A and B are shown apart, each in its own frame.
Chain A
Amino acid sequence: MKTPLILILTLLATLCLATGPDVSTLLKAIDANMTSASSKSTTRLVINGRRASRTVGSVNYAQGNDKFYTEYTSPPRDKGTKMLKLGKDLWIYDPASDRSLRISGNMLKQSVMGSDLSYEDFMEETKLVDAYSGVLSGAEELDGRSCWVLTLTAKQPNLAYYKRQLWVDKERYVVVKEYLYAKSGKLLKSISASDFRQTGSRWYPHYIRFKDELKEGKGTEYYIDSIQFDLAIPAYIFSKAMLKK
């Protein structure tokens, strides 16, 4: 009697190990790492164009996923340019003309400061777990770390990327590599992250490389020089008045 029971339990355990963890649990864990109630960061965007590379410095504030404010600090030509996202609205402030411009429609697909990031990338405000359903497609070793490979499909029709393939660190629940696809199956963007640092219980990448697979170039490197989570940010930061300040 005991032998069949042990056999059944062994089989179930093997099945559990083979199927891996629940995908939505994994996505929740990733969201917990990558999103916060608020954050303030100082970053550098190294844009490797076909002609030359240039570095754009910025200070960024975020509250949840729907409020975002960036002020570019360097180089001199870009200094003072600001970007404000409030829900589904995105404004750019141009210091040269002292005017702000609402980015909408096709313009959202345009590159931000010539980088491999589009404005659309900044407009994503839903958590992975809410926006995508997925399957665990395997496990791989990446940069010496064991990763789950997830394939996600959009639950909503209006998302910038219909399909995503994620390599998720098994221990830290951070995305190490990601491929973003259009509905047609065409690879649009690839992202790889490294230099993960722990702040409290949260793991966060301090180096991310974005590559727009539809254009030539060596991609854009995103360095996070400093980042603080869950701090109190004054409400005026996320107001249109801040653009002209």
Chain B
Amino acid sequence: MLRFLFKGVFRDRHRYLFPLIIVSSGVLIMIFMLALINGYMTSFIRANAGFDTGHVKVVTRAYAELISQKPYDLGFLDIQPEVQRWKQAYPQLEWVQRIHFGALLGVPSLGDSLQEQGEVICFGLDLLTSGKERQLMNLDKALLSGRMPLKPQEALLSDLAFKRLNLKLGDKILLFGSDVDGALSSLQLTVCGTISFGTQALDRGAVIADLSAVRQMLNMEGGAAEILGFFRSGEYSQTEANGIKADFNRRFSDPQNEFSPVMLTMADQNGMGYIMAMIDHLLGIFSLVFIVILGIVLWNSGLMNGIRRYGEFGVRLAVGESKLHIFWTLILEAACVGVIGSAIGIALGMLLSGYFNLYGMDVSAFSRNSTLLSEDVIYTSIDIPSALAGFIPGVLSTVLGAALAGIAIFRRQTSQLFKELEA
């Protein structure tokens, strides 16, 4: 029966060509879009984790309450022995320690005052003992001129501030801020390079200095404001992160002590959980929209086909074939076209996604004014479940289109058949 239908469909170009093109193009687009969304998601997680949230983050309970303000004065002091214990307890994680703070940036003049002043965001990162921060913050890419700091007294300055202050590489800058106790503190640094992250807030005025110098300035010896953990695999897993968080908070956190550590997962910070859930739901929404749109297009195509095959159905009904049987054969024909069209779409979609997986897609023009942290080049991410997710809607939409068009069969009156055929 199936073989008979197959022959029938593929010997009549009008029956398969248009639906096949529609289904395969639809599946191709869907597979590619899913791969792009997955790729964007991976890039989004990587950028946000590296820049701000980590896969998990450990802060004090007091800091966690005001985390959006980054209150370094509520950070950890002398925390290194504790960090060693965490490293042993969770070998699957790599740790980095950071301090963010706001300061006044000045350029020392020959006199006793400052030539220029402006507010800057400062990052105290471990730049000298490991290359991890360079990779996480994408510093090598952000570096516009000069080089990375090699000494604690050297720093990177955002390129816009560097130009605004008419500085030269090797010039001295002075940071004025408050130490962990709120007392006035300062730090003199030599600018060894300039950076641009492509984010307006940071590019207007950011200073990246070594953690050791920042600790000294802020009177936070052995301390850190935030301690970020990253899975050694590089992939974020919400389930694993939740497990580690529950275990960590049970073992190391004391609800009675506001300066005891507390672990947060990436999803707990900056509304990331909501964004990730929303992107996950996109898959379902996408499939539904795909089925409805393609279903309508194929319904139309089925109607056209039905008009063309009006006589054929009439003859089949006249010789005694039941309406339901004709309807089912139509559905089976559509399923055949759907399966083959979806298979072609998947193959083409995988090819296209594979290309962008290899070479990436430059989206910097779209993300220039975005406040969301994302990378400029997105690499599509292809996997088997996404490919299968394209297959099912491909077949479903074809069947749906045929089913809607096939309803017309049931409206034919047997008593009128011969009149219709004569006409």
Binding partners A and B = yes
B183 touches A81 (CB 8 A): yes
Q: How far is the CA of A115 from the CA of B188 in the complex (A)?
A: 25
Given A50-B74, A81-B184, A101-B106, 11 more A-B residue pairs with CB atoms under 8 Å apart are: A77-B179, A77-B183, A77-B219, A78-B184, A94-B185, A97-B108, A99-B114, A100-B112, A101-B176, A102-B113, A115-B182
Q: How far is the CA of A93 from the CA of B112 in the complex (A)?
A: 9
Q: By CB atoms of chain A within 10 A, which of B74, B176, B180, B219 has the most?
A: B176
Q: How far is the CA of A60 from the CA of B176 in the complex (A)?
A: 23
Interface size class on chain A is 20 to 34
The stretch that binds B, out of A29-37, A106-114, A186-194, is A106-114
Residues from chain A with a CB closer than 8 A to the CB of B176 are 94, 97, 101
- 1/0 contact trace for A54-78 toward B, CB 8 Å? 1010000000000000000000011
* A99 and B184 in contact, given A50-B74, A111-B178 (Cβ under 8 angstroms): no
- 1/0 contact trace for B213-245 toward A, CB 8 Å? 000000100000000000000000000000000
Give the Cβ gap from B278 to chain A, nearest Cβ, in Å. 35
* A92 contacts B by Cβ under 8 Å: yes
Residues from chain B with a CB closer than 8 A to the CB of A102 are 113
* A51 and B259 in contact, given A77-B219, A101-B106 (Cβ under 8 angstroms): yes
A99 touches B106 (CB 8 A): yes
A243 touches B112 (CB 8 A): yes
* A50 and B113 in contact, given A81-B183, A81-B184, A96-B185 (Cβ under 8 angstroms): no
A101 touches B104 (CB 8 A): yes
Residues from chain B with a CB closer than 8 A to the CB of A101 are 104, 106, 113-114, 117, 176
Give the Cβ gap from A229 to chain B, nearest Cβ, in Å. 29
Give the Cβ gap from B256 to chain A, nearest Cβ, in Å. 14
Residues from chain B with a CB closer than 8 A to the CB of A111 are 178, 182
Q: How far is the CA of A185 from the CA of B180 in the complex (A)?
A: 31
Residues from chain B with a CB closer than 8 A to the CB of A93 are 112
Interface size class on chain B is 20 to 34
Q: How far is the CA of A78 from the CA of B182 in the complex (A)?
A: 11
Chain A, Cβ-Cβ closest to B172: A97
* B181 contacts A by Cβ under 8 Å: yes
A94 touches B258 (CB 8 A): no
B178 touches A96 (CB 8 A): no
Of B180, B181, B186, which is within 8 A of A94 by CB?
Answer: B186
* A244 contacts B by Cβ under 8 Å: yes
Residues from chain A with a CB closer than 8 A to the CB of B180 are 51
Of A92, A240, A244, which is within 8 A of B184 by CB?
Answer: A92
- 1/0 contact trace for B113-156 toward A, CB 8 Å? 11001000000000000000000000000000000000000000
Residues from chain A with a CB closer than 8 A to the CB of B186 are 94, 96-97, 99
Q: By CB atoms of chain A within 10 A, which of B113, B114, B174, B187 has the most?
A: B113
* A98 contacts B by Cβ under 8 Å: yes
Give the Cβ gap from A45 to chain B, nearest Cβ, in Å. 11
Residue pairs across A and B with Cβ atoms less than 8 A apart, 20 shown, are A47-B181, A50-B62, A56-B183, A77-B179, A81-B183, A92-B184, A94-B176, A94-B185, A97-B108, A97-B174, A97-B176, A98-B112, A99-B106, A99-B108, A99-B114, A100-B113, A101-B106, A102-B113, A114-B73, A240-B112
Q: How far is the CA of A47 from the CA of B113 in the complex (A)?
A: 28
Give the Cβ gap from B70 to chain A, nearest Cβ, in Å. 16
Residues from chain B with a CB closer than 8 A to the CB of A77 are 179, 183, 219
B113 touches A114 (CB 8 A): no
B181 touches A54 (CB 8 A): yes
Chain B, Cβ-Cβ closest to A110: B178
Q: How far is the CA of A49 from the CA of B106 in the complex (A)?
A: 29
Residues from chain A with a CB closer than 8 A to the CB of B106 are 99, 101
Q: How far is the CA of A12 from the CA of B113 in the complex (A)?
A: 62
Q: How far is the CA of A149 from the CA of B104 in the complex (A)?
A: 42
Of A51, A98, A107, which is within 8 A of B104 by CB?
Answer: A107
Q: How far is the CA of A236 from the CA of B154 in the complex (A)?
A: 38
B174 touches A114 (CB 8 A): no
* A244 and B182 in contact, given A99-B174, A101-B106 (Cβ under 8 angstroms): no
Residues from chain B with a CB closer than 8 A to the CB of A96 are 185-186
Give the Cβ gap from A117 to chain B, nearest Cβ, in Å. 11
Residues from chain A with a CB closer than 8 A to the CB of B73 are 49, 114
Of A97, A107, A113, which is within 8 A of B182 by CB?
Answer: A113
- 1/0 contact trace for A108-132 toward B, CB 8 Å? 0011011100000000000000000
Q: How far is the CA of A54 from the CA of B62 in the complex (A)?
A: 20
Q: By CB atoms of chain A within 10 A, which of B77, B117, B219 has the most?
A: B117
Q: How far is the CA of A51 from the CA of B176 in the complex (A)?
A: 23
Residues from chain B with a CB closer than 8 A to the CB of A98 are 112
